[in-house]
Amino acid sequence: MSKKNLLSGRDKELQEMAEQYEAAKAENRTIYLDADDLADLADWYAVHHKYAMATEVVEYGLGIHPDNTALLVEQAYLFLDTQHKEQAKDILERIAEESSEVKVLKANLLLGEGKEEEAEAILDSIDDKDDLANIVDVSYMYIDMGFPEKALTWLTRGLEKYAKEEAYLAVTGDCYYAQGLFEKATFFFNKLIDKNPYSAPYWFGLARCYFDQQMFDKAIEACDYATVADDEFADAYLMKGHSFFQLGNEESAMENYLQAEKFHLVSHGFINTFIGLNKASKGEWKEGYDYLEKAITAEDSHDFALPSLYANAALCLHKMGKKRKAHQYCKKAYDLAPEEIDPYLIEGRIYMEEGEYEKGVKRWAKALEYAPYADTWHEIGMCSMEIGQLSYAKLAFEHVKEMEPDFEGINERLTSLYMLLKDKENFMKYNQLCEHPFRLEELDRLQQILQEDNQEELALVMLSLIHISEPTRP
């Protein structure tokens, strides 16, 4: 999907068009819409995760308007959305026209192959780079592909001319959100709401900003406004569910997840997965296992998710004392996906907790063989900290620091580690590098704790520190 209508003044118009289309379909009568409207309608369905309807509209449109460029471009995006890249390329080869939309699509495919320079060259060949539609399309393309900073370059072109246009404000808000600049994004979504207070996408955009700032009550309020504007806006129910879950209100979270499921945004398997993982993260192993088992056996479970599900269920089983079954579940995960690293990381932890250190190290080494990255070392470090294997944690975190000196939260991790190891020199070294280092009075208190050898209080300080900078997981 191009997302050009995701956050724009056309959302309500397209919703009404969708209602007309579906009414005509239900009554088995023909409805005539021009090609551009049908392409936009298909895009609207895709944005709302209704891919079957989006595909149907495109095919219907091509039946009326054969080889229409706008419809073929939309069809290509649908193939990209559903991970059918080769089919998208085939569609592109059918398009003879060299319009700006086609060039953006080509650039999208090139970026997906890591060909940034070629993509930029294609975009530079667009005739009217200052046209609002082109600015919006290119900006959303860069945002979707993970290059929001490049989108900002294009947005600068239209700042003076389009600063009051809804489409421009919307993509700017999304751009800042994609960069993690949530306060700036909030400013733009509030401006959009001032212009159109009955837009569900604008309220949802604001809700996302609040959620990522851990302002969960405000996120829920914004979602409420979104669902008042559109009671079938599934994304708002999902976000509301996440917010309630973060606040510890699991009953309300489930109610909203079920609403999201009703509108086909998520499956029941997803809901069980989400709750199971969160239960496990809180040490509620039996409940976590029960939900993960439901996700594993669900009819709508996806093969790609099963290895991780089996691995996390294995950890729950281990904690429940069912060691043999835990290792059996890890084997199932390996059989399904030999190169998936989660099972190796988790079984490595299980072996460590069982005192089988050599086997544990071998499992972690296997994870590093398939994913020799800082993220993998960080996971090993976090596991080691949680189970009290400080020497392994030291090795892992120092590897992270060496590979990626600016890795998020690594200075905090090393500070907490060396605090536990009572290594004053390294503690002071990494404390100075923390975003929020300990103040003098806090250091005095830490020294007192160390002198008293109060391990329980030291552990509490460590736990508060080790979780600094960890992202909130929906």
Query: What would the pLDDT profile of 153-164 be if each residue is shown by its tens digit?
Result: 999 988 889 999
CA–CA separation, 265 and 285 (whole Å): 28
| pLDDT category of residue 448 using cuts at 50, 70 and 90 | low
- Picking from 93, 133, 161, 176, the residue whose alpha carbon sits closest to that of residue 2 is 133
The average pLDDT across 414-434 equals: 87
Structure tokens at 157: 């072109």
CA–CA separation, 140 and 43 (whole Å): 13
Q: Is residue 378 a contact partner of residue 400, using CB atoms and an 8 Å limit? A: yes
Residue with tokens 């959100």: 177
Residues 400-430, buried b or exposed e (16+ Cβ, 10 A)? bbebeeebebbbbbbbbbbbbeeeeebbeeb
The pLDDT of residue 441 is 62
Those residues with Cβ within 8 angstroms of residue 220's Cβ, 6 or more apart along the chain or in another chain: 207, 240, 243, 244
CA–CA separation, 424 and 440 (whole Å): 14
The average pLDDT across 199-212 equals: 95
pLDDT, one tens digit per residue, over 355-378 is: 999 999 999 999 999 999 999 999
CA–CA separation, 285 and 269 (whole Å): 18
18-22, 65-69, 77-81, 215-219: range with highest mean pLDDT? 215-219
Please return the burial class of 7, using the count of CB atoms within 10 Å of its CB with bins 0-12, 13-18 and 19+: buried
Residue with tokens 């070294």: 429
The average pLDDT across 81-100 equals: 87
The count of C-alpha atoms lying within 13 angstroms of the C-alpha of 241, restricted to the half-sphere facing its C-beta, is 22
Residue 197 pLDDT > 90: yes
Q: Give 166 or 450, the one with higher predicted confidence.
A: 166
Using a pLDDT cut of 70, give the percent of the chain over it: 89
Residue 207 pLDDT > 90: yes
CA–CA separation, 96 and 184 (whole Å): 41
Q: DSSP characters for 442-453?
A: HHHHHHHHHHHT
Q: What are phi and psi of 420, to 5 degrees?
A: -65, -35
Q: Is residue 450 a contact partner of residue 458, using CB atoms and an 8 Å limit? A: yes
The average pLDDT across 161-181 equals: 93
Using a pLDDT cut of 90, give the percent of the chain over it: 56
CA–CA separation, 44 and 329 (whole Å): 41
The region of weakest confidence among 105-114, 295-304, 456-465 is 456-465
Residue 471 pLDDT > 60: no
| pLDDT category of residue 450 using cuts at 50, 70 and 90 | low
CA–CA separation, 389 and 456 (whole Å): 17
The pLDDT of residue 449 is 57
- Picking from 413, 462, 419, the residue whose alpha carbon sits closest to that of residue 435 is 413
Residue 408 pLDDT > 70: yes
Those residues with Cβ within 8 angstroms of residue 352's Cβ, 6 or more apart along the chain or in another chain: 360, 383, 384, 387, 389, 392
The pLDDT of residue 98 is 87
* Largest pairwise CA distance in the chain: 83
The average pLDDT across 454-467 equals: 53
pLDDT, one tens digit per residue, over 24-72 is: 888 888 888 889 999 999 988 888 777 888 999 999 999 989 989 999 9
| pLDDT category of residue 468 using cuts at 50, 70 and 90 | very low
Q: For the chain, how big is the Rg over CA atoms in Å?
A: 25
The pLDDT of residue 266 is 75
The pLDDT of residue 472 is 40
pLDDT, one tens digit per residue, over 285-335 is: 999 999 999 999 986 666 678 899 999 999 999 999 999 999 999 999 999
Q: All domains of the chain, ordered by start, with CATH?
A: 1-97 (1.25.40), 399-474 (no CATH)
Residue 202 pLDDT > 60: yes
The pLDDT of residue 33 is 87
Q: Is residue 42 a contact partner of residue 54, using CB atoms and an 8 Å limit? A: yes
pLDDT, one tens digit per residue, over 5-23 is: 444 456 678 888 888 888 9
3-state secondary structure of 391: helix
Tell me the CA distances in angstroms from 343 to 47, 377, 393, one per residue in order.
Answer: 33, 15, 19
3-state secondary structure of 322: coil
Those residues with Cβ within 8 angstroms of residue 388's Cβ, 6 or more apart along the chain or in another chain: none
